[in-house]
Amino acid sequence: MDEQRLKKVSKYLSKHLRHQPDRIGITLDPHGWVDVDDLLRAVAAHGFPVSETELAEVVADNDKQRFSIVDGRIRANQGHSVAVDLDLPPIEPPAYLFHGTVAAVLPSITADGLRPMNRHHVHLSPDRETATRVGARRGRPVVLSVDSGSMHAAGHVFYRSDNGVWLVDHVPPAFIRLP
């Protein structure tokens, strides 16, 4: 499968496994899983057929690891806006994590801290390179450092998704360092 098709399938699956399962008539279980067979039937019925081989390739995509397949069921590893409980165990973060964003939202971030916006959690990256890529989706990237070690010491609970994205409910301004 070429890069372009891979990206298209990945985006289509993200849309329905994270945000709008109803749109193609699938129902996610409380932890976000749906039967692979049901998913493939639903996408075909909605004019976007995906083969099993293509699905396997998207899931194996080393770049992002957006999805997991376990026992014939698939789910998005993170990034949901629909209510799902990913059942991730709390885990101690490294001393610093990073957040890639753009200059336009800095006044609001400085005032309110980092908010989950449309997702369930604030997403943080383990390194500057990843955060730079995340920020670059929106324009010229600005990378903020988050004092995750102090946050953890202060009782904030961190999780790490299966594809290595760090998740937390909120990052208060006091723990954010501007570049």
Task: Please give the residue ranges that form the binding site for ligand HQG (CB under 6 A).
Answer: 64, 66, 79, 101, 105, 108-109, 112, 114-115, 117-119, 123, 134, 138, 165
Distance, in Å, from the CA atom of 17 to the CA atom of 26, rounded to the nearest integer, reads 9
Q: How far is the CB of 38 from ligand HQG (least distance, A)?
A: 22
Q: How far is the CB of 105 from ligand HQG (least distance, A)?
A: 4
- In this complex, which beta carbon is closest to ligand HQG, that of residue 74 or of residue 109? 109
- In this complex, which beta carbon is closest to ligand HQG, that of residue 11 or of residue 45? 11
**H helix and E strand count, the chain:** 6, 9
Is residue 82 within 8 Å of residue 19, measured between CB atoms? yes
Strand partners, 179: none
- In this complex, which beta carbon is closest to ligand HQG, that of residue 33 or of residue 78? 78
Q: How far is the CB of 123 from ligand HQG (least distance, A)?
A: 4
Sign for the pseudo-dihedral over CA of 124, 14, 129, 100: negative
- In this complex, which beta carbon is closest to ligand HQG, that of residue 37 or of residue 172? 172
Q: How far is the CB of 119 from ligand HQG (least distance, A)?
A: 5
Strand partners, 74: 34, 69
106-121: buried (b, 16+ CB within 10 Å) or exposed (e) per residue? eeebeeebbeeeeebb
